[in-house]
Structure 1
Amino acid sequence: MDVIKELAQRIARADVIAVLTGAGMSTESGIPDFRSENGIYAQEENVEYYLSEYYFEKDPVDFWRRFKRMFSLKLMGNFAPNDGHRFLRQLEEMGKKVTILTQNIDGLHKKAGSTNVIELHGTLQTATCPECGEKHDLAFINRHDVPRCERKAANGNKCNEILKPDVVLFGGLVPRIEEAFAAAAESDLLIAMGTSLEVAPVNQIPFYVATQSPVTYKVIINKTPTRMDDVFDLVIHGGIGETVAKVRSHMTGAS
C-alpha cells in the first residue's frame, strides 16, 4: 500500500495521537538545524560547554552573550509556523486528542495553536529568575544584554538576579520526560517528525512504545534515514511540508 495513504488511514482511525518532533520540523520555517551546515555546531566551538549548566553558573554574563549570538534571539520572534505545525493543529480541530512531544525550543507549535505541547528541551521564548521564580518574555530578554529580574521586593528594591533561559542546558535534566513517555505509550498512533533520534533520553521514546504498547502504530517522517527506522511500522523519507500536503489530500478525498 502507498505509504501516504496508509498514514492518512491510520490518522483517520486514531483517537489519541502523540507526535515527537525534532529540528526538521522547523527548518521549513527558516530555523537552521542544530547540526546542519548552517547550524550552531558548525558555526561555534565548544557548544556543549558554553551552553551548559556549569558555564551558566560559572560566568552568567558571558553565557548570555554567547547564548544570544548562538540562537540569534533578536530574530526568534520573526519565525512563523509552517504547514507541518498547522497540520498538527488541524488534527486537534478534527477532534483528535493530540499531544506534541517536541525537542524544539522555538515555540512554533504553540504559535500554531496546538494546545497540548510538552516542550522537552524548554523554550527560548522566556527566561526565569533563579531567585524568585519570576518569568520574563522574549521581548524583555532582547532589550537587555544581560537580562536581570525586575520584580520588586517588599522593600521596593528590584530583585536584580541574572535570569536563566527556560531551555534545558547541557548537563541539565529533562523535566517532563516521564510525562512524554507515558503520553506516547497511551497513544493509538505515534508519529516522529523531522527528528534523527540522536539525542537521549528523547530518542528512547519509540523503543519504550515498542516494548510497552505493542498496539500503538509507529510512523517516522524524516528527510533522511535514521538509525532507528527499523523500530517503526511505517517509514517515510521526505520533507514534512510535502508529506502532510499529500496526507491532507488523502484525508479530504482530493485526488
Structure 2
Amino acid sequence: MYISRYFSSSFNFVPKHLPCSQEALEVVQKFVKCHQRILILSGAGISTESGIPDYRSEDVGLYSTSNKRPVQIKDFMQSSKVRQRYWARNFIGWPRFSSFLPNLSHKIIADWESRGKVSCVVTQNVDGLHFKAGSKNVIELHGTAFKTGCVSCSYTITRHKFQNELSLYNDYISLKPLSIRPDGDVEISMEEVDKFHVPECPNCGGILKPFIVFFGDNVPKERVERVKSELASSDALLVIGSSLSVFSAYRFILLSAESKIPIGIINIGATRGDKFSSFRIPARCGEVLPLVTVSDVNQIDESNTL
C-alpha cells in the first residue's frame, strides 16, 4: 500500500465531488485486474492535486474564474505584442510552475508501469509531472513547457536555461506571481508587459516558442501515430482526469471504441467519452487510485511459463 511520504497535494483547484463509493471502487479494481497492458490517458484533472489549476472544472477551473483565454497559435505567430505578453507572464510564472511536484496519482501510475500493468502514459499536460514521478514511456500529447525552440531553425534550449536568458534582459521584474494558470503563466500589469524584452533566436533571428501545442494548432502527426501504435498494443484505455473536450485526446476514445478496446474513466465531471466507456467514476484521482490493488504482471507472466 502507498504510504504518506508519496503524498504531495493541494485541493484548491479540485472541484466539488462526492466520495468514491465501494461499488465504484470495485468496478475500477475489476477493470484493472482484467487487463494486462493498460494505456493511461491523463488530463489536467490529475495535476490539480499538485496545485496546478485546470481549464474547465466547475467553479475552480480557469474558464470559471476568469474571462482570460489561452493564447492562440495564430496570434502568437503573427503578433510581436502577443509574444511579448506571453513570455512576460510565463517568465514570472516559471519558477513556481517548474517547481510543482508529482502527487500520489502520478506516483501510483509510475508504480503500475514498473509492475508491467501500464503500457504507456499519454498525457495532455505540459507540466512534466509524470516524468518527475518516474514514468518512463510517456507521450506528451501537447508537448512540454520544459523546452523552447525556434520555429524557423533547429535551435533548442531548455526552459530553465531560457529563463536565465530572459533574466539578463528583464532583471527589473519581480518574480512574485499572484496566481498561476494551467500552462504556467500569470496575470501581470501591462506596464510590466510593455517593458519586457523577448530575445530572438541566436541562430537565425526567428521566433522562439515553447515546445507546446498552442490552442488552434495541431498535434504533430508523428506523435499521433505513436499514440495509435501504443494503443494498438494495449488491451484497455483508462482515462484519468480529463474531460476529453479537445479532439486531440478525444480521437483516441473514438479509435478505441472502433477497435473494441475497453475504456474506463476516472474524472469528477462528465466527459465527452462517457457514452463509449464501460464506466466513469466521478471521484478524485488521488482518492481512487491508492485503493486499487495491482499485482506485478512480470512475475505473473514468469510463473505461467513454469
Range of TM-score over shorter length: 0.7 to 0.9
Q: Say yes or no: does 1:232 pair with 2:277.
A: yes
Q: Say yes or no: does 1:146 pair with 2:198.
A: yes
Going from structure 1 to structure 2, the CA distance change for 1:163 and 1:70 (only over 3 Å counts) comes to: closer
Q: What residue is the counterpart of 2:186 in the other structure?
A: none
Q: What residue is the counterpart of 2:292 in the other structure?
A: 247
2:240 to 193, 196, 207: 193
| Conserved 8 A contact 2:40-2:118 | no
- CA–CA separation in structure 1 for the residues paired with 2:199 and 2:238: 37
| Conserved 8 A contact 1:192-1:220 | yes
- Tell me the CA shift for residue 55 of structure 1: 1.6
Q: What residue is the counterpart of 2:219 in the other structure?
A: 174
Q: What residue is the counterpart of 2:183 in the other structure?
A: none
- CA–CA separation in structure 2 for the residues paired with 1:187 and 1:5: 22
* SS of structure 2 residue aligned to 1:27: coil
| Conserved 8 A contact 1:17-1:188 | yes
| Conserved 8 A contact 1:23-1:33 | yes
Q: Say yes or no: does 1:29 pair with 2:50.
A: yes
Going from structure 1 to structure 2, the CA distance change for 1:39 and 1:6 (only over 3 Å counts) comes to: closer
2:144 to 123, 141, 152: 123
Going from structure 1 to structure 2, the CA distance change for 1:140 and 1:186 (only over 3 Å counts) comes to: same
Q: Per-residue CA shift, 1:154-185, capped at 9, x if unaligned? A: xxxx5554311110112211112232233224
Which range moves more in the overlay, 190-199 or 13-22?
13-22
Q: Which amino acid aligns with 2:29?
A: A
Q: Per-residue CA shift, 1:115-153, capped at 9, x if unaligned? A: 111111111111112233222112123231525444xxx
- Tell me the CA shift for residue 9 of structure 1: 3.7
Give unpaired runs (5+ residues) of structure 1.
151-157
Identity fraction in percent: 35
Q: Which amino acid aligns with 1:82?
A: N
Q: Say yes or no: does 1:202 pair with 2:249.
A: yes
- CA–CA separation in structure 2 for the residues paired with 1:207 and 1:91: 25
* SS of structure 2 residue aligned to 1:80: coil
| Conserved 8 A contact 1:185-1:208 | no
Q: Per-residue CA shift, 1:162-216, capped at 9, x if unaligned? A: 311110112211112232233224311210000111111311211211112x2x2
**Paired residues for 1:82-93 under 5 Å:** 82-93=103-114
Going from structure 1 to structure 2, the CA distance change for 1:68 and 1:202 (only over 3 Å counts) comes to: farther
- CA–CA separation in structure 1 for the residues paired with 2:239 and 2:289: 13
| TM-score for the superposition, normalised by structure 1 | 0.83
Going from structure 1 to structure 2, the CA distance change for 1:125 and 1:177 (only over 3 Å counts) comes to: same
Q: CA RMSD in A?
A: 2.5
Q: Say yes or no: does 1:165 pair with 2:185.
A: no
* SS of structure 1 residue aligned to 2:121: strand
- CA–CA separation in structure 1 for the residues paired with 2:87 and 2:41: 25
Q: What residue is the counterpart of 2:77 in the other structure?
A: 57
Q: What residue is the counterpart of 1:5 in the other structure?
A: 26
